Structure 1
């Protein structure tokens, strides 16, 4: 199945007969709710729990609107759940202006469905919601579209999203915005000095490659995005158990997310010199697979002893980060589904990030709060840098001991970053293990709404 960017718009034009959806938070001002709806809620014992609905009849008994529970806080994206519960029909937001943006973003993100492999997957039974007047419509649509792109890419199974299909999607993204695309593939990776990308991907019948997108004004601030594009990870010769492979179509979640972020940035037309780098590989098993104990020479010249072939993502990222650093961007951002240790530490919903730039860290923290895209900073603790030591090479890709796995992975990447600009690394999960109000179970966009908020503020 060919990957498609085409999706039905989330929001519709206002319909003349659209019924009101009144958001209601526990203990909050409810002056926007008409008296008959408020009285009905009292009689029905409606508690306004997040994502709950209460249809409200009018004087003639016909449906006059619906009350939308937003919870006690209220939860900023709680409206996402109602996108999957709201009856089919025409609806409009009927709440206070200061809550319209959270409502629209939550509703939009929650309306996502991945049904392209279902016989009846046409979305015809979805309700029609008008975009609230009080929000910046193009911005909301941009955030939702970029997030949906990331989710679609992750959810697509590897038989339809291997390195070649990821390249096809990458090219389509570039063509949509008139960006320049370069691809270095197969043995050309060796000729152009990307040996670790080649080593990780050479065992697959789908050749490894480095994808690059360039967009924007030369001379503008340089922003470079790097995303891990391991389209499937068997673990290599250090093979994963069957249960460990079930979600490995999502191991290109970093690539999917930088592509979603690139969509947002190019759609907004920010005045930046944007580069996007994606090492696209499949970590497969065959007679020419790289082995535990092999020593690889990286693009930067550092030698890497392979302690475990299942720590492959940091290898392909290292070559891409080395190239990015050579160009001295003002800001270098990488996203990767890199370690299970990050999930043990913070769970699936809260990706850690690493940077030495205190100003950048403060800006990321402010941005993630603004758009309800939770992130948490962990330290680049140099006390653990010695754990990367090898007796036969400059460093080992998989330190023994098992402690601080996410931090040591970040420290590994740090060895390949140089230059005067700032660098930040995000260790994302890229997956929802269960339904949440703003997203169903499956592939997830993480960190990119916060990063768009940050970049829009800096360069918009």
Structure 2
């Protein structure tokens, strides 16, 4: 399904946004005295997420009041609920609704975006009722931009939610081809033994035991300007390899291609917004299964990367950085203005920051500040962690240039990021996102399952980054 707004019409019902206050809710003057009495009798206080339906004299709906909490102040903590209107989309009676007022300090754009996100349904395997409510896009709000953002998010969620039985390397390639076809992009795919011939040995080594052949997907979008290259981890299922995961850790491994899903979702949004004409956008996805078979790569193996650096394999479950390394080395050969990797890479990132706040790594303070601010301002929070150079020795084993899984368990997200940075020498800027790509339990605007992370933070920081 694609996101959509209701057509603007006189039949839509008004939704009044109401702030709470010390002396009671700030009820809009436009509603009738009877409606104000009704709201008071219902105990409506304007608290965030509180809903009060307004009846007509004959018992039909006249509209609704929806609480958005107190006016934000400079010292406020981040809101617990990311999308203020998403809960309204999920709790209002069936029908079309329009926002009847615009309280000071309320971001109608983000509110409408949350409403669209709340309408997402994954219906491939089980029928689901269409969203009961639709929103008329608020006046003076860019509907096309909202729909472009939601389309990218929907795409990322759909790809992550699809199990490996229907989202292996073959199907991930097809999703990339579909995107390229929609937007007039060129796509090339290097598959199987051709990876060896064209010097992508670690992508091949990780994926050669899979039921579907490993591959490197390369999409180039038409445009002129600075080169932006997005690299997404496309491990379509991760058993852990010969260092096999326990069942409790393997159950969600269909989401291990979340990095690929997010870069494809971001590319979808950029194309729909027409922003690819002002840059040269390239998307690289190493797509593999990390499986178990007689030809699987082994603990103790030493692999030689595309860059020529040798890597000692101390854990086959640290495979994502291996396939990313070959793709990053290819990307770096063009010296992009900005090189970004996105990957569901380490459990250490989740231990440090949890599932809802993905870390990113960046050497440039100005660029990092722009990404953090964009994430904060566009309901897509991210948090900077350091490329801590004193830990470089932890990824340097005795018999090879690099170690894919340092012993000890300390600073796992940082050592993984340091490993990847070794393959990015000529890019003007390199940023790595260690995302989770999964919503563990439903929240307003975020259904349980696959989710986008970091896409809007990147999108809204690009003008500052690429200027």
| TM-score, normalising length: structure 1 | 0.94
| Counterpart selection for 1:405 from 412, 428, 440 | 412
Corresponding residue number in structure 1 for 2:16 = 22
| Counterpart selection for 1:396 from 387, 397, 403 | 403
Corresponding residue number in structure 2 for 1:44 = 42
Corresponding residue number in structure 2 for 1:446 = 453
Q: 1:8–1:316: structure 2 CA closer, same or farther, 3 Å change rule?
A: closer
Superposition pairs for residues 325-340 of structure 1, below 5 Å?
A: 325-340=332-347
Question: CA offset at residue 12 of structure 1?
Answer: 1.6
Question: CA offset at residue 67 of structure 1?
Answer: 1.7
| Counterpart selection for 1:53 from 47, 51, 54 | 51
Corresponding residue number in structure 2 for 1:237 = 242
| Counterpart selection for 1:290 from 297, 306, 310 | 297
Q: 1:459–1:267: structure 2 CA closer, same or farther, 3 Å change rule?
A: farther
Q: 1:122–1:57: structure 2 CA closer, same or farther, 3 Å change rule?
A: closer
Corresponding residue number in structure 2 for 1:206 = 212
| Counterpart selection for 2:221 from 215, 226, 246 | 215
Write out per-residue CA displacement over residues 114-173 of structure 1, whole angstroms, 9 at most, x where no aligned residue.
12211x3351x5222211112111111111110111011000111110000000000000
Determine the C-alpha separation between the residues in 2 that align with 1:60 and 1:328.
69
| Counterpart selection for 1:34 from 8, 31, 34 | 31
Determine the C-alpha separation between the residues in 2 that align with 1:252 and 1:11.
30
Write out per-residue CA displacement over residues 165-221 of structure 1, whole angstroms, 9 at most, x where no aligned residue.
000000000000000001000000000000000000000120000001101324x11
- Asked if residue 63 in structure 1 is aligned to residue 61 in structure 2, the reply is yes
Q: How many residues align?
A: 451
Query: Quick check: 1:22–1:33 contact (8 Å CA) kept in 2?
Result: no
Superposition pairs for residues 324-363 of structure 1, below 5 Å?
A: 324-363=331-370
Query: Quick check: 1:101–1:134 contact (8 Å CA) kept in 2?
Result: no
Query: Quick check: 1:100–1:134 contact (8 Å CA) kept in 2?
Result: no
Question: CA offset at residue 30 of structure 1?
Answer: 4.3
Corresponding residue number in structure 1 for 2:136 = 130
Determine the C-alpha separation between the residues in 1 that align with 2:414 and 2:136.
44
Determine the C-alpha separation between the residues in 2 that align with 1:188 and 1:415.
25
Q: Please provide the CA RMSD for this pair.
A: 1.7
- Asked if residue 171 in structure 1 is aligned to residue 177 in structure 2, the reply is yes
Determine the C-alpha separation between the residues in 2 that align with 1:224 and 1:446.
17
Query: Quick check: 1:195–1:298 contact (8 Å CA) kept in 2?
Result: yes
SS of residue matched to 2:420: helix
Q: 1:428–1:90: structure 2 CA closer, same or farther, 3 Å change rule?
A: same
- Asked if residue 160 in structure 1 is aligned to residue 157 in structure 2, the reply is no
Q: 1:32–1:194: structure 2 CA closer, same or farther, 3 Å change rule?
A: farther
Corresponding residue number in structure 2 for 1:4 = none
Q: 1:314–1:38: structure 2 CA closer, same or farther, 3 Å change rule?
A: farther
Corresponding residue number in structure 1 for 2:121 = 113
Question: CA offset at residue 21 of structure 1?
Answer: 1.2
Question: CA offset at residue 90 of structure 1?
Answer: 1.7
Corresponding residue number in structure 2 for 1:247 = 252
Write out per-residue CA displacement over residues 61-100 of structure 1, whole angstroms, 9 at most, x where no aligned residue.
3210012232445655121122222211121112207532
Question: CA offset at residue 112 of structure 1?
Answer: 1.2
SS of residue matched to 2:314: coil
SS of residue matched to 2:97: strand
Query: Quick check: 1:230–1:283 contact (8 Å CA) kept in 2?
Result: yes
Determine the C-alpha separation between the residues in 2 that align with 1:32 and 1:193.
69
SS of residue matched to 1:117: coil
SS of residue matched to 1:11: coil
SS of residue matched to 1:276: strand
Give the unaligned 5+ runs of structure 2.
73-78
Determine the C-alpha separation between the residues in 2 that align with 1:43 and 1:234.
57
SS of residue matched to 1:90: strand
| Counterpart selection for 1:144 from 140, 150, 158 | 150
Determine the C-alpha separation between the residues in 1 that align with 2:406 and 2:167.
31
| TM-score, normalising length: structure 2 | 0.93
